[in-house]
Amino acid sequence: MPPAHRGGTRSRRRGRGTERLAPYVLVAPAVLIIVVLRLYPLLLGVNFSLTGDGERNGTVVGLDNYLELFRDPLFRTALGNVGLLVLLLPVAVAIPGLLATFIYLRVPGHRFYRSVYFFPAVLSPVIVGAIFNLLLAFDGPLNAILGSVGLAPVDWLGDPDVAMFMVVGVHVWATFGMALVVFLAGFATLDSALLDAARVDGASLPQVIWHVIVPSLSRTIQFVFVTTMIGMLTSMFGLLFVMTSGGPEGSTYLPEYYIWIQQGQMNRPALASAASTALFVIMLVVGLLQIKLLKRAGKED
Amino acid sequence: MKQRAMWAAVLVVGLAMAGCGSATGTGSSSSGSADKLVVWDWKSGEPSAAAYIEKAKADFGKKHPDVTVEFVAQPFDQYYTLLGAAIQSGKGPDVILFNGGGQIRDRVDALAPLDEYVAEDEQRLAGWEAFAKDGKIYAAPVTLQGHPIYYNKALYEQAGLDPASPATTWSEFVADCAAITKATGAKCFALGNKEGAGIQFWLSALASGVLTAQEYDDWIAGKRDWNSPNVKRIFQLWQEAGEAGLNNDGANSTAMFNDSFAIFQSAKAAHIIGLMSDVGHWKDFNEFLTADKLGVMDAPVVTAGTTPSLPYDGGIGYGVAKWTKDPKVAADLVRSLTSTDALTAFYAEAGAIAADTTIDVSQAGPAVATLVAEIETGKPAPHVALSSKTLDLMGRLSQQLLSGSVTVDEVVKQLAASDQAG
């Protein structure tokens, strides 16, 4: 029955064609969303950063905005503060790591600590900022305590050498609960036989932490490094806005805050776009480094 | 391969079509239909402004019963950010609330000149200069914003000073402050400079006692000589006041709104350079200090021969976007928003010194009476004449002056450079 045979071949061919097309059709919505809502606006932003503000609105000015940006001491301060955040990163990771270790080793009251440590993670940065504004005010309770033991008051949020550390400290306080949970999840996979063996061999607590816990949790530690860094670079705006507004003397500016000020307060959207592009490049570099780190960690396993 | 090429083609065509528009707004498109006006502000959501908005709506409804008006109250923190985005896209509200000075002058490209529509109101309302640029008016004033020096008469009495006659020269003023601090422990000034706004109020409040009349007028007209000894003197006074402990402690970490006002209200400081619009003003202070104990004084004379005056401008005012369908109708709404009836309600409920000088304020206490009496001889506030960029820089430099990490010469040099760059 040749006709039927021919028909069967055609339908099989058509079936193969549809099959070949299917993945593209299925992927198309995601690709469209990425291209239209992510890549295209990104390109628009880069394009916009090459145009002027105010009287030069709409005209192409080349790299003028970028030159202005890197000549602006305020933007340089913002970049410097990004560097400071990177330097402070190990501290931000070590705190939840150590606390999680103590909880894992069942210090008395560990259940209570677990919930208390996590509690700030559910508070909005605005509320956290408002609380610490009160605590750190010049005539606030912290300075009152210092005064009661005979120490001079410190202008926690008004001294440019101190303010950035206070904001970062509050950010760490408010967010380390999440990292703590990740660490605890990592501990759940830890082989307790190793700990027992170390104890039998007479290892002290620091030796247990350094020679057993840290190597066993290397992947968890790297993951926390990555997520903490992303958190520090991208979600400190709320705290900065409430606690210092970039001050005093511009010492607590971060690129995000700079972008917001230029766009909203100074009416310089094109300059803000240039700053956004610069921040994007920084994030890209940091992101690529992180991916490299994770890959290396994967190989070790 | 064919399918891949086809999809690629679809994407390229889609992108090309979407990419036809430029990144910057052309400003030609409109927000809505001709029978609806959208107003953006940060006031209409507040209970104290409810009566004002109602009166204005009623007045406009009589003139244009077929036009609906929608008020969209934006949070003030993000107001100019949101507005910037709207302006950039060339779409947005028809009628827009602005602060006078730099905030509106930076954005006049997006506004329609109102001169032909508001000619009738020019005599009745005060404060137009803050909403004008290059001789054209871009908004009609709702309130007047000034920077009077308020003082606490009770502290003066406790220190044995006459609260009815505060100091008229700087040296007397400093001596009075010393007496008050000695007798009561209260500081001379309540200062909030966390946002860098304290220096703006300082500059405006003291300038008329430091700059000569000619220097003052030149400053407002844009001919600013930053190297003049009198201009430097203003910043020296700021530094000296900090060093001499005239301000509350931790001024750089004290927010102006509302921490510094709270310091004054709780009698921890004898003076504050406040506002006269609808916050941080006489009505707020009356609540705690009572109307009888609240005084308003002229700037102490620093440079002999100067005549201190009240520094004030148009505070907030409504403008019309240039993309609105019918500017005449939108301007009518602006006129309703600045009608005597509406402004009387705003003054009564929110305590703002309204731009309408015909409103009766005799019931509000001596401080208001002093303020309103000084409007006639008042002059524009010097800080309002500066660009947002220069003000921002001045805020940071003022914090450095207080912490001692910069000299006055360096401050005026940087400010001159920023001012010249525009």
What distance in Å separates the CA atoms of residue A118 and residue A288, rounded to the nearest whole number?
Answer: 30
Q: Which residues have CB under 8 Å from B110's CB, separation 6+?
A: B27, B87, B321, B322, B323
What distance in Å separates the CA atoms of residue A106 and residue A187, rounded to the nearest whole number?
Answer: 12
DSSP state of B291: G
What six digits make up the tokens of A217?
């949790």
Q: Is A161 on the interface with B (CB under 8 A)?
A: no
A142 DSSP β-pair partners: none
The model's confidence at residue B19, banded by pLDDT at 50, 70 and 90, is very low
For B11, the closest chain A residue by CA position comes to A32
Q: Is B23 on the interface with A (CB under 8 A)?
A: yes
What distance in Å separates the CA atoms of residue B112 and residue B82, rounded to the nearest whole number?
Answer: 19
Complex confidence, ipTM: 0.83
What distance in Å separates the CA atoms of residue B165 and residue B155, rounded to the nearest whole number?
Answer: 13
B chain contacts of residue A64, beta-carbon cutoff 8 Å = none
Bridge-based pairing of strands B269-273 and B187-189 is parallel
Which of A51, A153, A244 is opposite residue B23, by nearest beta carbon?
A51
- Give tens-digit pLDDT for B261-310: 999 999 999 999 999 877 888 888 988 999 999 999 999 999 999 999 99
What distance in Å separates the CA atoms of residue A44 and residue A198, rounded to the nearest whole number?
Answer: 58
- For B114-171, the DSSP string reads -HHHHGGGTTTB--GGGGEETTEE-EEESBEEE--EEEEHHHHHHTT--TTS--SBHH
SS3 percent helix, strand, coil of chain A, rounded to 5, is 80, 0, 20
| Phi, psi angles (nearest 5°) of residue B252 | -70, -15
Min distance B392 CA to chain A CA atoms (Å): 9
Q: Rounded mean pLDDT of B106-130?
A: 92
Q: Which residues have CB under 8 Å from B3's CB, separation 6+?
A: A20, A21, A24
Nearest of B310, B309, B298 to residue B170 by alpha carbon: B298
Q: How many Cβ pairs within 8 Å bridge chains A and B?
A: 109
Q: Is B16 on the interface with A (CB under 8 A)?
A: no
Q: Which of A65, A167, A265, A277 should we substitute to test contact with B (largest number of B Cβ atoms within 10 Å)?
A: A265
Q: Is A31 on the interface with B (CB under 8 A)?
A: yes
Counting Cβ atoms within 10 Å, is residue A177 exposed (0-12), middle (13-18) or buried (19+)?
buried
Instruction: Judge contact between B133 and B105, C-beta under 8 A.
Output: yes
Query: Is the CB of B254 less than 8 angstroms away from the CB of A54?
Result: no
Residues 348-377 of B with CB under 8 A from A: none
B319: enclosing H helix or E strand: strand B316-321
| Phi, psi angles (nearest 5°) of residue A106 | 55, 55
Instruction: Report residue A299 CA to chain centroid gap.
Output: 25
What six digits make up the tokens of B324?
């609105």
A51 DSSP β-pair partners: A60
Q: Which of B7, B247, B252, B389 should we substitute to test contact with A (largest number of A Cβ atoms within 10 Å)?
A: B252
Dihedral sign computed on CA atoms, order A148, A154, A156, A157: positive
pLDDT of the residue at B144: 92
| Phi, psi angles (nearest 5°) of residue A190 | -70, 135
Min distance B309 CA to chain A CA atoms (Å): 30
What distance in Å separates the CA atoms of residue A177 and residue A183, rounded to the nearest whole number?
Answer: 10
pLDDT of the residue at B22: 38
Min distance B399 CA to chain A CA atoms (Å): 6
Nearest of B205, B191, B168 to residue B250 by alpha carbon: B191
In b/e form, how buried is each residue of B364-391, taking b as 16+ CB within 10 angstroms?
bbbbbebbbebbeebbbbbbbbbbbbbb
Q: Which of B253, B254, B266 should we substitute to test contact with A (largest number of A Cβ atoms within 10 Å)?
A: B253
B chain contacts of residue A31, beta-carbon cutoff 8 Å = 11
Query: pTM here?
Result: 0.83
Min distance A249 CA to chain B CA atoms (Å): 4
Query: Is the CB of B78 less than 8 angstroms away from the CB of A21?
Result: no
What is the percent of chain A where pLDDT is above 70?
A: 93
The model's confidence at residue A299, banded by pLDDT at 50, 70 and 90, is low
Query: Is the CB of A47 less than 8 angstroms away from the CB of B88?
Result: no
Query: Is the CB of B80 less than 8 angstroms away from the CB of A264?
Result: yes
pLDDT of the residue at A296: 73
Nearest of B59, B57, B52, B62 to residue B37 by alpha carbon: B57
B chain contacts of residue A28, beta-carbon cutoff 8 Å = 7
- Give tens-digit pLDDT for B76-111: 878 988 998 898 888 889 999 999 888 898 899 999
Go through chain B and tell me how many residues it has.
422
Counting Cβ atoms within 10 Å, is residue A12 exposed (0-12), middle (13-18) or buried (19+)?
exposed
Residue B156 has pLDDT above 80, yes or no: yes
A chain contacts of residue B15, beta-carbon cutoff 8 Å = 35, 40
Please provide the average confidence, as pLDDT, over all residues in chain A: 88
pLDDT of the residue at B118: 94
B chain contacts of residue A158, beta-carbon cutoff 8 Å = 194, 250-254, 399, 403
- The SS3 assignment for B246 reads coil
Query: Is the CB of B84 less than 8 angstroms away from the CB of A160?
Result: no
What distance in Å separates the CA atoms of residue B356 and residue B248, rounded to the nearest whole number?
Answer: 36
Min distance B324 CA to chain A CA atoms (Å): 20
pLDDT of the residue at A250: 93
Cα dist from A179 to A90, A166, B240, B362, whole Å? 13, 20, 48, 62
DSSP state of B293: G
Query: Is the CB of B78 less than 8 angstroms away from the CB of A264?
Result: yes
Q: Is A265 on the interface with B (CB under 8 A)?
A: yes
DSSP state of B175: H
- Give tens-digit pLDDT for B162-207: 999 999 999 999 999 999 999 999 999 999 999 999 999 999 999 9
Q: Is A19 on the interface with B (CB under 8 A)?
A: no
What distance in Å separates the CA atoms of residue A21 and residue A42, rounded to the nearest whole number?
Answer: 29
Query: Is the CB of B194 less than 8 angstroms away from the CB of A248?
Result: yes
Q: The tokens 């065509």 sit on which residue? A: B13
Q: Is B421 on the interface with A (CB under 8 A)?
A: no
B73: enclosing H helix or E strand: strand B68-73
Query: Is the CB of A24 less than 8 angstroms away from the CB of B84?
Result: no
